[in-house]
């Protein structure tokens, strides 16, 4: 576990400043991103599922997800964080055990439980995060838990004010032992600001590698105060457009 512990500590230390964790989905994309100069990666559940012929939203089995994660981790020598959706129905202890067995040292966990078409209640999700924290601590690895809320993305699942829910859920996740926070799809810079002002942990924003984020490009994100950037499925989508452009004249 010593190598995993050192990688987890290195990944966490990167959050002291703004860290960009580009999103990979297979060995090729991971090696390409590391060769481009990135010192850590995240694996997106959406692009990983796409690469296996599955839909996003926990359509992969846990075995398929962790096999894909292990292939990416084995292809590079940098810290890797993996998007585990809402946990694939696994208990926190098993989820952390399988994450570490695959060699990853960070994880995303969201509050939308796709298999049940519902959103965890705020404290319910915080309790799941707390279980992950306890399991990681017991393993001796400071797993970088990036707690995600879909409060803005799926307001129909909670029926309350979306920004109030985003703030509440992120505050509870911080108290539960997350190391970073991920309120996805903020509708405006002002909405994102409400979360940033309410928490002290690094906040993750999703960016398109060409078009930027809700607050702009890299320097605008830095100035705004977010400290973590990932691409979600947007790098894979941008490459899809580029591939279609490259081969267009060969049809």
Return the DSSP state at 184: -
Q: Which two tokens stand for residue 140?
A: 């001796």
* pLDDT in 10s for each residue of the chain, 251 residues: 679 999 999 999 999 999 999 999 999 999 999 999 999 999 999 999 999 999 889 989 999 999 999 999 999 999 999 999 999 999 999 999 999 999 999 999 999 999 899 999 999 999 999 999 999 999 999 999 999 999 999 999 999 999 999 999 999 999 999 999 999 999 999 999 999 999 999 999 999 999 999 999 999 999 999 999 999 999 999 999 999 999 999 98
Per DSSP, the residues of 107-128 read EEE-SEEGGGTEE--HHHHHHH
Range of the domain at 219: 2-250
Flag whether the pTM goes above 0.75: yes
Domains: count for the chain = 1
For residues 71 and 27, the answer to whether their CB atoms sit within 8 Å is yes
Q: Can you give the CATH number for the domain in which 67 is found?
A: 3.20.20.60
Cβ neighbors of 185 (< 8 A, separation 6 or more) are: 150, 152, 153, 206
Q: Kind of pairing, strands 144-149 and 23-24? A: unpaired
**H or E element that contains 34:** helix 27-35
């Amino acid at each position: 576990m010593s190598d995993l512990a050192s990688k987890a500590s290195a990944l966490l230390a990167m959050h002291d400043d703004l860290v960009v964790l580009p999103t990979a989905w297979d060995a090729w994309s991971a090696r390409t991103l590391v060769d481009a100069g990135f010192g850590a990666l995240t694996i997106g559940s959406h692009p990983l599922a796409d690469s296996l012929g599955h839909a996003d939203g926990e359509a992969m089995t846990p075995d398929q997800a962790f096999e894909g994660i292990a292939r990416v981790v084995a292809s590079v020598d940098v810290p890797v964080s993996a998007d585990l959706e809402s946990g694939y129905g696994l208990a926190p202890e098993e989820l952390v055990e399988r994450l570490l067995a695959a060699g990853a040292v960070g994880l995303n966990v969201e509050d939308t439980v796709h298999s049940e078409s519902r959103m965890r209640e705020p404290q319910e999700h915080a309790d799941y995060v707390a279980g992950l924290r306890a399991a990681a601590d017991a393993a001796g690895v400071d797993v970088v838990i990036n707690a995600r809320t879909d409060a803005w993305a799926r307001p129909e699942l909670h029926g309350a004010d979306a920004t109030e829910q985003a703030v509440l859920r992120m505050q509870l996740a911080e108290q539960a032992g997350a190391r970073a926070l991920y309120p996805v799809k903020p509708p405006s810079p002002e909405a994102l600001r409400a979360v940033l002002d309410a928490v002290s942990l690094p906040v993750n924003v999703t960016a398109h590698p060409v078009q930027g984020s809700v607050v702009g490009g890299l320097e605008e994100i830095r100035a705004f105060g977010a400290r973590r950037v990932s691409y979600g499925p947007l790098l894979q989508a941008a490459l899809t457009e580029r591939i279609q452009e490259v081969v267009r004249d060969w049809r």
